[in-house]
Amino acid sequence: MTKIKVGVIGGAGYTAGELLRILIHHPAVEIVFVNSSSNAGNQIADIHGGLIGETDLVFTSELPFEEVDALFLCSAHGDSKKFMDNNSIPTSIKIIDLSTDYRAKSPNHSFVYGLPELNRDAIKLATRIANPGCFATAIQLALFPLAAAGLLTDEIHVNAITGSTGAGVKPSETSHFSWRNNNISIYKPFGHQHLEEIGQSLSQLQTGFNKAVNFIPVRGNFPRGIYVTAYTYCTLSLSEAKNLYKEFYKDAAFTFVTDKNPDMKQVVNTNKGIVYLEKHGDKLLIVSMIDNLLKGASGQAVQNMNLMFGLDEKMGLGLKAIGF
């Protein structure tokens, strides 16, 4: 097998660490370089301790574009666009950006929104992918079947709690252990940045969709995972709703509809999305959960790479939940 040669930009954060963990063991990938200006010369395993004994790779400040087939951008939000603007990247290189910079559709860029449950065919043909946000992925998986059936006819109410790794590797006032442990709080209620991409995708499936998505994000007191509860008016019976969801996700590689009330530990450390439904009066309750660093970031990025290069969508992503 001819291996895909990849480079990683911004290699020191949580997202990059998980990406490297997957790529090191991916049977069709060779990592050519991992760029980090602040860590150039350091062993990658010295920064990402979970990789001790698995790689001898060293961070570099160099950018040998001519040696790679694919490039993953794991830079901070806002920095990916700067990187693209400041570097002449050969058009033959396929790019997967994990920041927010190219998620919104625009005539100014050619990035395809990389959520396989929505855009699988377009991803296969794309050379530029905007990887979805973590909250956005989990919430969209909860709502896509209803949107595709034209059934989002009322406001949608969403509460979602995320692990502390979603705030990045650098400690802040709201992410360091002393504050986060044994504590929860809301932030950016009704105005989270992921709402734009959620609305964009729902409108793609349900033309004319203009209902409010009332989203309350919650900072959780655990490291990783996203647990979404959403509800909206729905005329379907529970049986009809389950059939709708199971039909919509029947060909999805990693999204599964379960009849049993699930626990978040069932998705942590995997690229899975799990969806569960209940009916309460005229409201449909949807529970959706993912690992924010995998299906919400690095795992989905590798899933997109597999699709772009014509590989088995699941290749390199046979990960087991850590809760059992």
Residue of 29, 68, 134, 152 with catalytic role: 134
DSSP 249-297: TTT-SSEEEESS---GGGTTTSS-EEEEEEEETTEEEEEEEE-TTTTTT
Q: CB-based burial of residue 184 (10 Å sphere; 0-12 exposed, 13-18 middle, 19+ buried)?
A: exposed
Which distant-in-sequence residues (6+ apart) come within 8 Å of 10 by Cβ? 16, 35, 36, 73, 74, 75, 76, 79
Q: Nearest to residue 39, comparing CAs of 16, 14, 58, 55?
A: 58
DSSP state at residue 115: -
Residues 6+ apart with CB under 8 A from 165: 14, 223, 224, 292, 293
Torsion-angle region of 316 (φ positive above 0: left; ψ -120 to 50: alpha; else: beta): left
CA 33 to chain centre: 23
Residue 234 among the catalytic residues: no
86 burial type by CB count under 10 A (0-12 exposed, 13-18 middle, 19+ buried): exposed
Catalytic residue positions? 134
